[in-house]
Structures are given as C-alpha cells and as structure tokens.
C-alpha cells in the first residue's frame, strides 16, 4: 500500500500536465535523462577533439564543427561562446557538437590547443 505522501505525490504529478519527461515519465525536476545521455556521450570520447568543415546543404562557407570536447553541456556552451567571440561569428551547440559559422579551422585548432586539448583536423 502506497503511503499517503506517495499518493499525494502521484496526484500532484498527474495534474502537472506537460511537465513529465517523455522518456522516463518522471517529473522533469526528477528526470536525469539528460545527465545520463551526457555521461554516455562523455564515456565514448577518446580524448581527441575533431574539427571539421561542413558545407553540404549550407550557404557560403558552411560551418566549422568541433566534436569530442570532453566537457559537460554547460561548459561546452561557455566554450562555444568564447570561440564564437574569438572568431567574431555566430554558432551553436547541438548534441555535444559545437558549430561555428564560417571556416575557422586553423584558428579554432590554435585556440583549443592553447586550452590543452589534443586536436585533429578531420575531413574537408
Ligand atoms: Zn527523463
């Protein structure tokens, strides 16, 4: 038999429409799917940061992508912000990959190496 507290808890959650995680069905405040996905991503990294230029389906010079940076999502956003500022351009972070608009491979390689990362230029 569930305790009164649990029953009340369930009641609160069930009226809390839209605030549960679609993956684990826990209230968002208790959901750690994002952390788990992030830990899985970090566990797969080999310590090498890969910089790539992508032009397919994009206008102009495309974007420079940075993959494999061993940082949490929050730190990655901060890094992306610093790199965007350094390059004087825009960008975004998508699923652990930093995208910087334009072709800034050499500059980004220098910047990341200065920060102590092992960097490889990959692809075209
Ligand atoms: Zn969840």
Model confidence band, residue 5 (pLDDT cutoffs 50, 70, 90): low
Structure-block tokens of residue 9: 């808890």
Q: Distance from the CA of 42 to the center of ligand 1, in angstroms? A: 18
Sheet order of strands, 63-67 included:
91-94, 97-101, 63-67, 48-54, 118-121
Tens-place pLDDT, residues 108-121: 999 999 999 999 99
Structure-block tokens of residue 107: 């500059």
Q: Distance from the CA of 30 to the center of ligand 1, in angstroms? A: 8
Helix axes 105-114, 73-87, angle to 10 degrees: 130
Domain boundaries of the chain, sorted by first residue: 46-124
Q: Distance from the CA of 22 to the center of ligand 1, in angstroms? A: 7
Q: Distance from the CA of 40 to the center of ligand 1, in angstroms? A: 14
Structure-block tokens of residue 20: 């549960």
Model confidence band, residue 102 (pLDDT cutoffs 50, 70, 90): very high
**Predicted TM-score of the model (pTM):** 0.72
Give the angle 97-95-100 at the CA atoms, nearest 5°.
Answer: 30
Residue 77 per-residue DSSP state? H
Q: Which residues have C-beta within 8 Å of that of residue 36, sequence separation ≥ 6?
A: none
Looking at CATH, the fold of the domain delimited by 46-124 is given as Translation Initiation Factor Eif1 (3.30.780)
Q: Distance from the CA of 29 to the center of ligand 1, in angstroms? A: 9
Beta-bridge partners for 63? 54, 101
Q: Distance from the CA of 32 to the center of ligand 1, in angstroms? A: 5
Locate all alpha helices (DSSP H) within the chain, ordered by sequence.
4-15, 33-44, 73-87, 105-114
Tens-place pLDDT, residues 48-86: 999 999 887 766 779 999 999 999 889 999 999 999 999
């Amino acid at each position: 038999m569930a305790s009164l507290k649990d029953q009340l808890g369930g009641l609160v959650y069930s009226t809390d429409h839209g605030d549960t995680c679609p993956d684990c069905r826990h209230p968002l405040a208790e959901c750690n799917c994002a952390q788990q996905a992030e830990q899985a991503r970090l566990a797969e990294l080999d310590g090498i940061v890969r910089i790539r230029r992508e032009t397919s389906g994009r206008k102009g010079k495309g974007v420079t992508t940075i993959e494999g940076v061993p940082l949490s999502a929050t730190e990655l956003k901060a890094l992306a912000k610093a790199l965007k500022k350094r390059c004087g351009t825009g960008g975004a972070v998508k699923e652990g990959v930093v995208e910087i608009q334009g072709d800034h491979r050499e500059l980004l390689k220098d910047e990341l190496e200065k920060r102590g990362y092992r960097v490889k230029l990959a692809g075209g």
